[in-house]
Structure 1
Amino acid sequence: MSRSVLVTGANRGIGLAIAAAFAEKGDKVALTYRTGEPPELKATGDGAILPVRCDITSTEDVERAFTEIEAAHGPVEILVANAGITRDTLVLRMTEQDFTDVLDTNLTGSFRVAKRAAKGMLRLRRGRLIFISSVVGLSGSPGQVNYAASKAGLVGMARSLAHELGSRSITANVVAPGFVQTAMTAELGEDRKKQILDAVPLGRYAQPEEIAGVVTFLASPEAAYITGAVVPVDGGLGMGH
């Protein structure tokens, strides 16, 4: 059966790979983007693709996006909260605006979409909430106080939602990627790339499709009894966290 899926921040990288993975399974996939041109994806089988411009820092924008998605695909059954930003700098140089901007997008933005999605899931008495965190949210990282705080917050959010919504067959889980081969990591200097790879037991970056595979598993019937979990996909970088 084709399901109604929403992936936020799906214009590139991990988000786009996740949206593509659901589309390949024949799901009806809505994908949000904030700026630029809408991403191009093709649906298969009974699936459908709906790009929706949405700024998740705006409650009004989130409500408008959900109204559009529900009219086209029905209530969202699977939410993947992936949208996020960085404002990296050392703490003494970090402004309050740097901190609050990252928290408002990465953490509060995820709260906005999860709260709105939960309304429909409660009526359906089923649903999957999947939050894309980061190994940095578990281990910390210099220059990323704001980003690490926002990604760590997703763990507490997901586990609280797992308690609140579990009786209605709604699961809430977190995927914590490590370093992933994207346009962002491609811009790193060679010394920094070597430093990263030396710390990863598997000795390579993840591919976006490897993150997508874990996400689609958590949305599958086989994962119906998994909730409140944090699944690392980091090549061993965060072992012990």
Structure 2
Amino acid sequence: MPSVFESTVKKLVNEIGDKELRPVSGVTNADTIRRFSLIRRKKSSSLFWTVSDVPVDISLKDILEPSGVVPDAAVETRHLCGYNELWKQNVATSVNAGAKASISEETCSCQGSSIDYKIVRTPYKTWTELQKWKVMDPEPSFLKECRRRENNVYVVTDVVELCESCVMEDHSSMNVSGALSFFVKPFAKVEGGAGALQVSERKHTVPKGSVMAYKRKQLVFRKNSWEILLVSDAEEETFPVGELSRLSA
């Protein structure tokens, strides 16, 4: 069963409707991922195997040599999303094997949340200015490790961020009732009935500023230069074959 956080974030991403948005996979990543955060990702060895993003606590600016002030006029749009969902299911079963039993089960589940969030986008001009910065010399250890592991590297470009803290709730109940009858003697019949009610409640409070979803673009490094692949379906090698780091060149 997915956590309250994961299921709520997926609903929010579906509501926004942007296919490039990726839901954050856990509360830890909600604190780690920010604009310009770097993400490493293993190369997939199979068409049927999904590879997960691995956010790291390193920013793109941490691996570049500053060469001036970068305009960072982020584009922000604020929204409010609220939803409540209710599911109800009835199941009945009967068994007859020396005894006659009937069991009915009713389950009910409700999820709801009110989310005040903003979408923060990085304008194109910021990327054109950032690409004037060169990769640090010597090459940062993070890039060395990704090169050695043959991981691709991505940068977070846009985020969906909470404007206010949010309480995510999940309530569920299960009501089970049954009847049992069997013969202990040819002319004696015993009957009985039973019932049980189980109620559960899950709540998760997510603080203001947490990132619920993000967009990422791939980076490509060639010696001390780099580029960002702004086309969403573009996919190359972050460290192209034949392009060695400056230390090994």
TM-score using structure 1 length: 0.24
TM-score using structure 2 length: 0.23
Between Structure 1 and Structure 2, the one with more helix by share is 1
